[in-house]
Structure 1
Amino acid sequence: MTSTTGRSSASDLMTLAETAAYLRTPVATLRYWRHLGEGPAGFRLGRRVMFKRADVDAWLDARRRTETH
């Protein structure tokens, strides 16, 4: 959920493991996609890779549209 300032709340952020579980894919696959620049947009927060749920959902929607055409 976003606040009125447009910023994401902490509950909208997912770790690498949480994102992999959400996508039902191994963590190693998600790391490989990031290496290739093909996966959902993520960012580093200290030493951790984090993903915004909205970015993951947008990536999924784009993949779904690409696959249906």
Structure 2
Amino acid sequence: MEEMIEATGVDPTLTAGSTYLTVEGLAELLHTSPNTVHYWIKVGRAPSSFKVGRRRLFARADVDAWVEEHRESGVA
């Protein structure tokens, strides 16, 4: 698995099928770039998240709620 992380830069245990998503996993799920996710974090528009060491994680349930909220309001 470490080889996969080194090759892709994404931890396969922290992507779309997991309980938690990394910035890269969230970007992949939403078909956007990690830079966009970092911008959303900076301006307060990202889903709720927390940090473990240097890694920011998003709970999948929070992401799903955030997507649904934005789908209903029509605001990205």
Please, what TM-score do these two structures have when normalized by structure 1? 0.78
**Where do 4+ consecutive residues of structure 1 move more than 3 Å?**
none
Q: Which residue of 1 aligns with 2:6?
A: none
Q: Deviations over 1:17-51 (max 9, x none)?
A: 01110111100000000000011111101110001
Paired residues, number: 59
Using the alignment, how far apart are the partners of 1:66 and 1:35 within structure 2? Answer: 21
Q: Gaps spanning 5+ residues in structure 2: where? A: 1-13
Specify which structure has the bigger relative contact order, considering alpha-carbon pairs within 8 angstroms and separated by 6 or more residues.
Answer: 1
Alignment equivalent of 1:30, drawn from 5, 12, 37: 37
Please, what TM-score do these two structures have when normalized by structure 2? 0.72
Using the alignment, how far apart are the partners of 1:35 and 1:42 within structure 2? Answer: 12
Q: Secondary structure of the residue that 2:39 maps to in structure 1?
A: helix
Q: Percent identity?
A: 39
Quote how far apart the aligned CAs of 1:14 are. 1.1
